Amino acid sequence: MGSQLAALNEWVTEVAELTGPDAIHWCDGSDVENAALVAQMQADGTLIELNQQTHPGSWLHRSDPDDVARVEHLTFVCTTEQDDAGPNNHWMSPADGHAKVDALFDGCMAGRTMYVVPYCMGPIDSPLSRCGVEITDSPYVVANMRIMTRMGAPALARIEQEKSFVKGLHSVGELDPERRFIMHFPEELTIKSYGSGYGGNALLGKKCHALRIASHQAKSEGWLAEHMLILGLENPQGETHYIAAAFPSACGKTNLAMLIPPEGYRVDGWKVWTVGDDICWMRPGSDGRLYAINPEAGFFGVAPGTSASSNPNALKSIQSNTIFTNVGVTADNQPWWEGIDNGMSPVTDWRGEPYDASKRPAAHPNSRFTVSAKQCPCYSPEAENPAGVPISAIVFGGRRPSLVPLVFEARDWTHGVLVGAAMGSETTAAASGAVGVMRRDPMAMKPFCGYNFADYFAHWLSLDDGRNKLPKIFHVNWFRKGEDGKFLWPGFGENLRVLEWMIGRVKDEAHAIETPIGHLPTLDDLNLDGVSLSDEARAKLFDFDRPGWKAELDSIGDYLEGYGPRMPQALKDEQQRIVKALVAIEPS
C-alpha cells in the first residue's frame, strides 16, 4: 500500500469517528454505482425524473430554498498568519476554524452514509493535474462530482503514486444558514464545508480545491490557478489560438467558451473549441509560453438565459444525462427557465409550487445544469492533452454598465496585471446577497483567491522574468449600457469579432490607437459587417472618456493602498504612470 493510501485510510477512520455515519461507501465512479445512487435519490425525492423521451438520463434536483448559491460571508481562509489570507478573505486561525467546524461535524452523519470520493482535477495522466478526496454525506454531491471531475478508481490509483492529496470534508448538516461554514486550511491542503449542499459550497473539487487551495499551492510552485474559461479559436487557415478569459461568476464564461461564430464567419471557416468554461490551471512550459489545462471534466452552468440563439452548444450538451438544479418544469415534465425561448411555458417553479409569475421566476436566477464536457459538440480534443494548450491571450472583463469600452489591450504584462487587479463588476445571483452592486473583483478571483491579493498580484508580476513568452492581456466589456438601460453590444456569437481583433494584435496584424488606458481599436479595426449598432453604441463602445478614467484610476489607487505595504510597488507605479498620462492630455 502506498503511503498516501495509508494516510487516506487513517483520515477516513478519523472522520468516521467524528461524524458517526451508519455506513461508509468508497466510490469507484462506475455506472453501476451511479445507477444505484440515482435510484436511491429518486426514491427519497432528492432527484425528480424529467421527461425521459425528450431528456433521457436527466433529473431535477430542488435544493433547500435557503441554499441556492455560494455564501461568501461564511467562507473562510484559515492561515496561521491573518495577513497571509489578506483583506480579500474572511479569516480565522486554523485552531479556531477547526474547533468551530468540528463541533458541527460531531455526530452529524448519524443515520447517513458517508461517501469517500477520490477525484482528479485535470486529465488523469497530466503532470499539471492534482488529486483530492471529498468525504460527503450527500449522494447528490457524489453524482455531481462524478460529472465534474475524473472521479473514482483511476483517481485513487493516481493518489497512491503521489506525495499529497487535498482532503475535503463535507456534510449538508441541517442545511441551516446559521450553521454553515466553508473553511479552507491551505497550509494543510484541507477543506471543511458544513451546512450547504449547493454548487461551489459543496462540490469541493471546484472552487474550494481548484481555486482557493490550488491558488495557494500555485504561488509556491510557480503556476496559476484562475477563474477562467479556455477556448481554442480556429481561423479559416486552420490555425488555432488559445484564449483564457476571467469574468466574474455569471458574467459570460460558459457562453464565450461555447461561442458559435456569426453566419459570415462560420461560412469562412471560423470555429470555437471549448477547453474549459470556469477554471484554468496554467504554468510556463519549457518554451516559456503558458500552458493551460481545464481541471474540470464537466460544466456546472447557469441555466437562465441559455437558449438556441444565445448558446446552442450548451443547449445541445444538456439534452441528456444532465442534472438540473432549481429550474422550473413544463406540463410534460421538461426543464424550463427564463430565456430558454423554446415556445413552452412552465407549470411548476423551482420550489415545486404552481408557477405564478407575480410570485417568483420559474427557475432560480442561479439555477444550474451539471453535464459532462464530453457531451458538448465543440469540446476540444486538446482538452484531454496532458501537456495542456499554449495560451496566446488572457482576457479580463466584468459587468460595467458605464465607462469601460468594448475592448482594450494592455501595453505590457505589468499593465495587464494592473488591468486584472483593477477589474470591477456588478454582483450576480451566483453568490447570496444583493445583485447589481459594483465591486472590485480582481481577475474574477475576489471570492476564490486562497491568499492575500497583494501577494497574488506579486506572483502574477513575477511570471514576467525575461525568459517567459507571456500572452498579451486584454480587457472586454460586453455589458455597457445605453441611455435606455439596454446593452449596447449584441454579445454572445458577435463577441467573436472582438476575439478576431485580439488574435490580430497577437500576430501583429491588427491596428489600434494608443491611449493612456491601453490600445483601443477604432470602429474600422473591428469587422462589424452585418452587426447593427446604434449611433450611441458606435460612440460609446469605442470611446475613451478621460475625466471618467481619471476618477477610475484614482479609485484604483485607493483600492491598491487598501492592501498596505504588501502591495507590489510596481503595480502602484503603473497606476501612477497612467494617472500622469491622463493628466498630461487634460485640455487646458
- Strands 389-397 and 290-293 come out as antiparallel
For 171-188, give the DSSP string.
E-TT--GGG-EEEEEGGG
Nearer to ligand GTP, 131 or 488 (CB): 488
CA distance 49 to 394: 41
CA distance 579 to 181: 41
What is the residue whose three cell numbers read 484610476? 553
Nearer to ligand SPV, 69 or 470 (CB): 69
Nearer to ligand SPV, 364 or 472 (CB): 364
**Shortest distance, position 484 Cβ to ligand SPV, whole Å:** 29
Give strand ranges (E) for 99-207. Answer: 113-121, 130-136, 150-151, 166-171, 181-185, 190-194
- Name the residue number minimizing CB distance to Mn ion: 278
For residue 61, state whether it binds ligand SPV (rule: CB under 6 A).
no
Give the residue among 376, 365, 366 at the shortest CA–CA distance from 311.
Answer: 376
For residue 199, state whether it binds ligand SPV (rule: CB under 6 A).
yes
Q: Considering only 9-17, 26-34, 200-208, 538-546, which stretch makes contact with ligand SPV by CB under 6 A?
A: 200-208
**Shortest distance, position 547 Cβ to ligand GTP, whole Å:** 27
For residue 441, state whether it binds Mn ion (rule: CB under 5 A).
no
Sign of CA dihedral 13, 15, 17, 20: negative
Task: Specify whether the CB–CB gap between 18 and 102 falls below 8 A.
Answer: yes
Nearer to Mn ion, 278 or 494 (CB): 278
| Secondary structure letter of residue 211 according to DSSP | I
Choose which of 130, 146, 192, 207 interacts with ligand SPV (CB under 6 A): 207
CA distance 76 to 299: 25
Nearer to ligand GTP, 121 or 582 (CB): 121
For residue 414, state whether it binds Mn ion (rule: CB under 5 A).
no
For residue 300, state whether it binds ligand SPV (rule: CB under 6 A).
yes
Task: Specify whether the CB–CB gap between 261 and 497 falls below 8 A.
Answer: no
> Of 215-254, which residues contact Mn ion (CB under 5 A)?
249
**Shortest distance, position 478 Cβ to ligand GTP, whole Å:** 4
Choose which of 329, 430, 443, 458 interacts with ligand SPV (CB under 6 A): 430
CA distance 146 to 34: 8
| Secondary structure letter of residue 278 according to DSSP | S
Indicate if 449 belongs to the active site.
no
Residues binding ligand SPV: number (CB under 6 A) = 9
**Shortest distance, position 60 Cβ to ligand SPV, whole Å:** 18
CA distance 406 to 396: 12
The site partner of 70 among ligand SPV, Mn ion, ligand GTP, none (C-beta below 5 to 8 Å per kind) is: ligand SPV
Binding mask 249-288 for Mn ion (x = CB under 5 A): x----------------------------x----------
CA distance 114 to 375: 30
CA distance 364 to 352: 11
Task: Specify whether the CB–CB gap between 15 and 167 falls below 8 A.
Answer: no
Name 344's Cβ contacts closer than 8 Å, sequence gap at least 6: 330, 334, 336
Task: Specify whether the CB–CB gap between 205 and 211 falls below 8 A.
Answer: no
- Name the residue number minimizing CB distance to ligand SPV: 200
Give the residue among 323, 280, 298, 34 at the shortest CA–CA distance from 148.
Answer: 298
What is the residue whose three cell numbers read 494608443? 514
Residue 194: other Cβ atoms inside 10 A: 26
Nearer to ligand SPV, 260 or 431 (CB): 431
Sign of CA dihedral 338, 340, 341, 342: negative
Q: Could you give the C-alpha distances from 226 to 184, 207, 394, 462, in angstroms and in order?
A: 17, 10, 11, 16
CA distance 234 to 268: 11
| Secondary structure letter of residue 451 according to DSSP | S
Nearer to ligand GTP, 206 or 241 (CB): 206
**Shortest distance, position 492 Cβ to ligand GTP, whole Å:** 5
> Of 444-503, which residues contact ligand SPV (CB under 6 A)?
none
Nearer to ligand SPV, 97 or 199 (CB): 199
What is the residue whose three cell numbers read 451511479? 34
> Of 498-527, which residues contact ligand SPV (CB under 6 A)?
none
**Shortest distance, position 259 Cβ to ligand GTP, whole Å:** 9
**Shortest distance, position 20 Cβ to ligand GTP, whole Å:** 35
Choose which of 88, 249, 313, 477 interacts with ligand SPV (CB under 6 A): 249
The site partner of 304 among Mn ion, ligand GTP, ligand SPV, none (C-beta below 5 to 8 Å per kind) is: ligand GTP
The site partner of 206 among ligand GTP, Mn ion, ligand SPV, none (C-beta below 5 to 8 Å per kind) is: ligand SPV
For residue 214, state whether it binds ligand SPV (rule: CB under 6 A).
no
Nearer to ligand GTP, 41 or 297 (CB): 297
**Shortest distance, position 345 Cβ to ligand GTP, whole Å:** 19
CA distance 425 to 398: 5
- Name the residue number minimizing CB distance to ligand GTP: 491
Choose which of 206, 212, 271, 283 interacts with ligand SPV (CB under 6 A): 206
What is the contact surface with ligand GTP in residues (CB under 6 A)?
A: 247, 249-255, 277-278, 301-302, 304-305, 310, 430, 478-479, 487, 491-492, 495
Phi, psi of 483 (to 5 degrees): -60, -30
- The single residue of 131, 251, 280, 378 carrying the catalytic annotation is 251
Task: Specify whether the CB–CB gap between 250 and 302 falls below 8 A.
Answer: yes
For residue 371, state whether it binds ligand SPV (rule: CB under 6 A).
no
Nearer to ligand GTP, 236 or 339 (CB): 339
Cell of 420: 486584472
**Shortest distance, position 22 Cβ to Mn ion, whole Å:** 35
CA distance 248 to 340: 22
The site partner of 305 among Mn ion, ligand SPV, ligand GTP, none (C-beta below 5 to 8 Å per kind) is: ligand GTP
**Shortest distance, position 305 Cβ to ligand GTP, whole Å:** 3
For residue 231, state whether it binds ligand SPV (rule: CB under 6 A).
no
391 three-state secondary structure: strand
- Residues that are catalytic: 251
Q: Which chain residues interact with Mn ion by CB under 5 A? A: 249, 278
Q: Which chain residues interact with ligand SPV by CB under 6 A? A: 70, 199-200, 206-207, 249, 278, 300, 430
